[in-house]
Amino acid sequence: MNLGKNIVKYRQKNQLSQEQLAEALNISRQSISKWETGENLPSIDNLISLSGLLNISLDELITGAPYLHFPFAYGRPKSRFPQLLLILGMTLWTVIETLFFNSTVMSIIFNIVFGIIISYIFITQIGPYDFKRYYDYWTLDKKGIIYPADNGEVRSLGHDFLIPLQGIFNLRKTKFVSYKQIKSIEISVNLYEYDPNKTVTVRGGSAIIASTMIENFDFLLTTADGQKISLKLNQFYWKSSQERKILNTIISFFKRKNLIFVDKQGIAKLIREDDGSSLTHKLYKLRDQEHMQSN
């Protein structure tokens, strides 16, 4: 905890000088200066006043991390735009097919059905947006975690195609695990054998870069009865996402629970010191350094 740095950070964020903050609290500027340097600490009353003046919660002021509001749905899309885009794409595809192949009533019906199915598969399975996020998200509650019922199961091809639809229309089935039932939580990034961010030279001097590859980032929960539950954390990769801002707070929340927190890759420290750069790039770099030291 570094309360002094947090006071400086949020004071500057609110465009307040030490003099202006001191005047609002009816204290001297020197008192603010001593808080920020760590020489003195604010009283409880002043902490409460500071949280109000700086527009943040007490928890955020003290820890520097965003406040965790329950329930928190990790990975659930906030925007309805992808859904509208899916409906629009399916409609356009169907209209085009119907206009060009409409010799009989049966052919019109066939083309409408065929167009809807093909466009749905193409947009949800091949398109750039991951519509499975509407289904695979998990929710952190005060008493436990709500997650998809088929977590960890091998999904059939048909079920895999229907998952985006189930998520969009909120038809997914869920399970609940209380914090008391959880024995351990491991955080991990499944790194590839080779760093995809690096340029790989091939025959003839040309090069390829696998920049579109995304490493799976998960919490792996183990319950007291040995059940394994995987919670996806990939939304952390998006720099502007709320999930990236709140993950450090979630980790701290888990660490305060009576369970084992496993972090073999030192991910929690990297997230706590997040400077906006790539988490996976840092992990590949650390792995390379470990390999060099062991050889």
Q: 217 to each of 148, 214, 233, 273, 287, how far by Cα in Å?
A: 17, 9, 5, 18, 16
What does the alpha-carbon distance between residue 282 and residue 287 come to, in Å, rounded to a whole number? 9
d(CA 74, CA 234): 10
Terminal C-alpha separation, the chain: 38
Q: What 8-state DSSP symbol labels residue 265?
A: T
Res 201 pLDDT > 50: no
Encode pLDDT of 250-294 as tens digits: 998 999 888 999 999 999 999 988 888 899 999 999 998 888 888
pLDDT confidence of residue 102: 61
Q: What is the CB neighbour count within 10 angstroms for residue 79? A: 7
pLDDT exceeds cutoff 70 at 31: yes
Q: What is the pTM of this model?
A: 0.76
**CA atoms lying within 13 Å on the CB side of residue 228:** 6
Share of the chain above pLDDT 70, in %: 92
The reported pLDDT for the residue numbered 103 is 63
Q: What's the CATH architecture for 3-64?
A: Orthogonal Bundle (1.10)
pLDDT per position as a tens digit, 45-68? 999 999 889 988 888 888 777 888
Q: Per-residue pLDDT for 235 more than 90?
A: yes
Rounded (10°) angle between helices 81-100 and 157-168: 120
pLDDT digits (tens, 9 = 90+) for 144-163: 999 999 887 777 778 888 88
Mean pLDDT of the residues in the chain: 86
pLDDT at 100 over 80: no
The predicted structure's pLDDT at residue 65: 76
Q: Which among 65, 47, 44, 64 has a CA at the least distance from the CA of 245?
A: 65
- Average of pLDDT values for 94-121? 76
Question: What per-residue confidence (pLDDT) applies to 210?
Answer: 45
Q: Alpha helices of the chain — where are they, by DSSP H? A: 3-13, 18-25, 29-37, 44-53, 58-63, 81-100, 105-121, 133-136, 157-168, 242-255, 267-272, 279-294
The yes-or-no verdict on residue 1 having pLDDT over 90 is no
Can you give the residue ranges of every domain in the chain?
3-64, 174-294
CA–CA separation, 115 vs 121, rounded Å? Answer: 10
